[in-house]
């Protein structure tokens, strides 16, 4: 059960609500986010929720059977839209496009990518400065200095930044230089990291784990929401299966299922989802037609020379074509 409290609720009224809930043998957890205050009540006893709804200080009350209550669509009719500022949204009904290199390499690369995005009307740039790599000898990013350089160039062009945070200690130093914290597939169940990201007033995009279920992804989002952050985005990026013909298996099924289960925006990552450059475009288009709120993919001026993931990275010509086709697919979908 989720109880949304009035913004002007008094302390005595809140205490009376909690006391009444506990008298029904329900456990209560208070959640204060950027947008509202909630009480999450867990219990098995059946009762008429009108007994609570009549109490002073309650704005709304809902029964939610899902264990992931706050991110469940069962209590929130309208879908969540994440506002990144300056007219940039994810989940507002338009298709959000996020593109950039796997790794931020140098100032020239960043500027060329920004120029490419601006030319094509894309407002969000992805890129890694802290890179989790399977091999300890692979390029692992430029770190915070690279992020500061990127931020300076991006701000001049009106571009928003999404970048991966790998550990709790990086949150504070990255905070002023990113618009969206990305939680990578390897950290989807790093609950200490999720808890801390729940305490910041920045958007968070959580990628599905390498072998994670849809339910586990929703539980991860619940950690962030319960800790106080409603600015959440979910990302289907492909899962590890027995199939060896592609890097991963992009679960297109997950997109409509997530849209049915949660009010949060859902985006897809076709670059990691299939891992083969020539197939990124059809997979991205399939994700849009499945209902994705956004697409995040990798592009580089010279993929063959990219520091990482060149085999799945589009060059700028391929990227421009993909952007046009994504926009056409989104328009077509809304005409149905």
pLDDT tens-place string over residues 211-230: 999 999 999 999 999 999 99
**Which three-class secondary structure state does DSSP give residue 315?**
coil
Q: Please name the residues in contact with 145: beta carbons below 8 A apart, sequence gap of 6 or more.
A: none
pLDDT bucket at 48, cuts 50 / 70 / 90 = confident
pLDDT bucket at 50, cuts 50 / 70 / 90 = confident
In angstroms, rounded to a whole number, what is the distance separating the alpha carbons of residues 316 and 324?
12
Assigned token pair, 322? 């993909």
Closest CA to 237 of 229, 228, 246: 246
Q: Please name the residues in contact with 102: beta carbons below 8 A apart, sequence gap of 6 or more.
A: 127, 128, 131, 298, 300, 306, 307, 308, 309, 313
In angstroms, rounded to a whole number, what is the distance separating the alpha carbons of residues 78 and 26?
27
147-160: average pLDDT: 98
Most confident of 49-63, 126-140, 317-331: 317-331
Closest CA to 160 of 217, 200, 114: 114
Pair 261, 234: CB distance under 8 Å: no
121-143: average pLDDT: 80
CA 100 to the chain's CA centroid: 16
Residue 242 CB neighbour total at 10 angstroms? 5
Average pLDDT of the chain, as a whole number = 94
In angstroms, rounded to a whole number, what is the distance separating the alpha carbons of residues 155 and 177?
10
Percent pLDDT > 90 in the chain is 88
Percent pLDDT > 70 in the chain is 97
In angstroms, rounded to a whole number, what is the distance separating the alpha carbons of residues 180 and 81?
14
User: Which DSSP helix (H) or strand (E) runs through 85?
Assistant: strand 82-85
Query: Does residue 137 carry a pLDDT above 60?
Result: no
User: Which DSSP helix (H) or strand (E) runs through 90?
Assistant: strand 88-90
pLDDT bucket at 102, cuts 50 / 70 / 90 = very high
User: Which DSSP helix (H) or strand (E) runs through 234?
Assistant: strand 232-236
10-27: average pLDDT: 94
pLDDT bucket at 138, cuts 50 / 70 / 90 = low
Q: Please give the pLDDT value at position 5.
A: 96
Query: Does residue 134 carry a pLDDT above 70?
Result: no
In angstroms, rounded to a whole number, what is the distance separating the alpha carbons of residues 75 and 303?
45
Q: Which domains does the chain have, with CATH numbers?
A: 2-62 (3.30.70.1140), 82-335 (3.20.20.70)
Query: Does residue 131 carry a pLDDT above 90?
Result: no
User: Which DSSP helix (H) or strand (E) runs through 325?
Assistant: helix 316-335
Q: Considering the entire predicted model, what is its pTM? A: 0.94
In angstroms, rounded to a whole number, what is the distance separating the alpha carbons of residues 224 and 236?
17
120-132: average pLDDT: 92
pLDDT tens digits, 231-267: 999 999 999 999 999 999 999 999 999 999 999 999 9
6-18: average pLDDT: 95
pLDDT bucket at 77, cuts 50 / 70 / 90 = confident
Query: Does residue 323 carry a pLDDT above 70?
Result: yes
Q: Please give the pLDDT value at position 136.
A: 65
Closest CA to 160 of 86, 81, 267, 234: 86
Q: Please give the pLDDT value at position 133.
A: 59
In angstroms, rounded to a whole number, what is the distance separating the alpha carbons of residues 314 and 298?
6
Residue 89 CB neighbour total at 10 angstroms? 17
Q: Please give the pLDDT value at position 326.
A: 98
């Amino acid at each position: 059960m989720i109880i949304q409290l009035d913004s002007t609720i008094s302390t005595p009224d809140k205490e009376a609500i909690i006391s009444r809930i506990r008298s029904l043998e329900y456990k209560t957890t208070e959640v204060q986010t950027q947008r509202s205050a909630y009480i999450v009540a867990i219990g098995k006893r059946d009762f008429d929720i009108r007994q609570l709804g009549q109490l002073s200080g309650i704005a709304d009350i809902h029964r939610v059977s899902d264990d992931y209550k706050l991110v469940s669509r069962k209590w929130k009719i309208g879908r969540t839209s994440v506002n990144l500022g300056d007219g940039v949204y994810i989940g507002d009904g338009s298709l959000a496009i996020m593109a950039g290199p796997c790794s931020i390499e140098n100032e020239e690369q960043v500027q060329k990518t920004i120029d490419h995005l601006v030319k094509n009307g894309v407002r969000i740039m992805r890129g890694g400065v802290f890179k989790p790599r399977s091999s300890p000898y692979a390029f692992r990013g430029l770190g915070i200095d690279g992020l500061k350089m990127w931020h300076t160039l991006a701000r001049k062009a009106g571009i928003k930044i999404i970048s991966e945070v790998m550990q709790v200690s990086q949150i504070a130093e990255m905070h002023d230089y990113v618009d969206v914290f990305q939680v990578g597939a390897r950290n989807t169940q790093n609950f200490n990291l999720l808890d801390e990201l729940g305490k910041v007033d920045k958007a968070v995009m959580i990628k599905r784990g390498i072998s994670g279920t849809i339910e586990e992804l929703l539980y991860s989002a619940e950690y962030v929401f319960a800790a106080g952050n409603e600015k959440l985005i979910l990302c289907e990026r492909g899962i590890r299966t027995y199939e060896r013909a592609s890097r991963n298996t992009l679960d297109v099924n997950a997109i409509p299922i997530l849209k049915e289960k949660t009010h949060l925006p859902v985006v897809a990552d076709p670059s990691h989802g299939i891992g083969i450059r020539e197939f990124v475009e059809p997979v991205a288009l399939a994700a849009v037609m499945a209902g994705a709120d956004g697409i995040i993919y990798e592009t580089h001026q010279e993929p063959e020379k990219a520091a990482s993931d060149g085999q799945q990275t589009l060059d700028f010509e391929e990227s421009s074509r993909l952007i046009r086709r994504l926009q056409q697919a989104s328009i077509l979908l809304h005409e149905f």
